[in-house]
Structure 1
Amino acid sequence: MRLTVVGCAGSAPGPDSPASCYLVEHDEFVLALDLGNGSFGALQNVVRPGDVDAVYLSHLHADHCLDAAPFVVWHRYSGQSDGRTVPLYAPVGADRRLATAYDPDGGPIDDVFDVTAIGPGSWTLGPFEVTTARTAHPVECYAVRLTAGGRSLVYTGDTGPSDAVVELARGADVLLAEAAYPEAPDLPPGLHLTGRQAGEHAAAAGVGRLIVTHVPSWVDAQEQLAAARAVFPAAELARPGAVHDV
């Protein structure tokens, strides 16, 4: 598998990165994990939108899904789409949420996306075996494990400390984990991880590598990385445009 970081800014686009969007490729199949705001432009530096075979949205907060709207625009009006619908996997209500984001009248988007509602479970998507787990977040959000060619990648989406995410990541080759919270007292529960907590999840799961992501522009990313490395040395920081072999 190959992982490309399209955007990795947490909670909103930053000055140097769009919000969350990652491409995972195997056997010429291209899967987009999240389409956060600002990501569609950067996506086109990596792949033609028409070559994206499927989309997985961890949840329906704007920094993870809002650029589904320009994805619709491209498919409808660029003249470059082949007319096929793109499978889109997301929590219940994604069809209404994305249609409203595109058009306040909420017209259908089924000419572009074939939307499937997800929950905890497993299925096959192209070359990938997919397994999901509900995370600790205020809205319905699903971490995802992708396995192909004997390798495995887990993406947390957004989560606070979560035993379910640790179990999902057990023995994975790469854990792509959010770390939006700086170390501070009285952090709201069930929302985000600190850098240290991302490292603790990686260590508890016994993963091979940790990639720290979803750090907001107002949080010091190097401090988040240092906190993760203090408990899990095989950690690195997600950077837009970076390509990782899993």
Structure 2
Amino acid sequence: MRVTVLGGGGVWPEAGRACGGFLVEYDGFRLLVDPGFAVVPELLRWVGPGEVDAVFVTHGHPDHCADLNPLLRARALSGKPDVPLPVYAPAGAVDAVLALDRVGMLAFELCELRDRFAVGPFALETRLLPHSVTNAGVRLEAGGRVLAYTGDCGPDPEVVALARGVDLFLAEATFVDQVPAGASGVLSSARLAGRQCADAAAGRLVLTHLHPGTDPAASRAVAGEEYGGPVEVATELIGNGPIDL
């Protein structure tokens, strides 16, 4: 399994830093996970718009799905290909993005999320995790390798269950340490991500969804106080090439 970090910021894209987005590949199949703000320009460094085989969206906030529109536009207006792109998302999550263009212009197929299902060579397991809108954390397995991704979520035992024993844990860490009262229960921190990664005995931690202006070194250090394995920050991995699991 190969993972390319396309973005790792949260809320809005900073200069040179797209919001959350990951290209996951196995056996020639390309799954784009969370095409957030400014993800498509990063994606096009690696593959053409017609080379994406499916899209998975954790939830409907635009920093996780807004660039589904330019991806579908690029496919439609370049004519490569004209087959519908399968889009897996919670019910209603991408309706606003898909409504940005006239009916019939964009070729896509909305697919139902289930607890367990297959997309190409990937076996997917989803769990609803606490956020201000419906958010589906996902566990992806192919070729004996496994990754888990939280989307955005507050603390919940289901996060540890989702990440149990994975090779790579992509964990939302909007804040460095304490989560402000207004976001308590719906967002996370680097410290909590490190603690959950340790509890899950995951092999590698990548912190994502950092709030704009956050010092990546501070997030990495705090997560490392809780988790003794390798800790990286998604915003520092953009453009560095794929991670081979």
Normalised-by-shorter TM-score class: over 0.9
Match 1:201 to one of 181, 196, 208: 196
What's the C-alpha RMSD, in Å, of the aligned pairs? 1.5
Listed as ranges, the gaps of 5+ residues in structure 1 are: none
Partner SS, residue 198 of structure 2:
helix
Looking at structure 1, the residues matched to 184 and 112 of structure 2 have their Cα atoms a distance apart, in angstroms, of 26
1:237 aligns with 2:236: no
> Distance between the aligned counterparts of 1:71 and 1:96, measured in 2?
15
1:77 aligns with 2:77: yes
Whole-Å separation in 2 of the counterparts to 1:20 and 1:186 = 21
Partner of 1:30: 30
- Residue 9 of structure 2 corresponds to residue 3 of structure 1: no
The match for 2:167 among 166, 170, 173 is 173
**Number of matched pairs:** 240
- Other-structure match for 2:39: 39
CA contact 1:95–1:115 (8 Å) conserved in 2: no
Q: Following the alignment from structure 2 to structure 1, what is the Cα–Cα distance between the partners of residues 95 and 7?
A: 24
Give the TM-score, by structure 1 length. Answer: 0.93
CA shift at 1:185, angstroms? 6.6
Q: How does 1:38-77 map to 2 (within 5 A)?
A: 38-77=38-77
Query: What is the match of residue 215 of structure 1?
Result: 210
Q: CA deviation at 1:71?
A: 1.3
Classify the secondary structure of the residue corresponding to 1:94: coil
SS of match in other structure, 1:208: coil
Residues 176-185 or 28-37, more deviating: 176-185
Length-normalised TM-score, structure 2: 0.93
For residues 103 and 170 of structure 2, the distance between their equivalents in structure 1, rounded to whole angstroms, comes to: 34
Q: Could you list the runs of 4 or more consecutive aligned residues of structure 1 that deviate by over 4 angstroms after TM superposition?
A: none
The answer as to whether partners of 1:178 and 1:198 remain within 8 angstroms in 2 is: yes
Q: Distance in 2 between matches of 1:180 and 1:95?
A: 22
In structure 2, which of residues 180, 184, 188 is the aligned counterpart of residue 189 of structure 1? 184
Q: Distance in 1 between matches of 2:179 and 2:77?
A: 49
Q: For structure 2, which runs of at least 5 residues remain unmatched after alignment?
A: none
Output the amino acid matched with 2:125: T
Identical residues among aligned pairs (%):
37
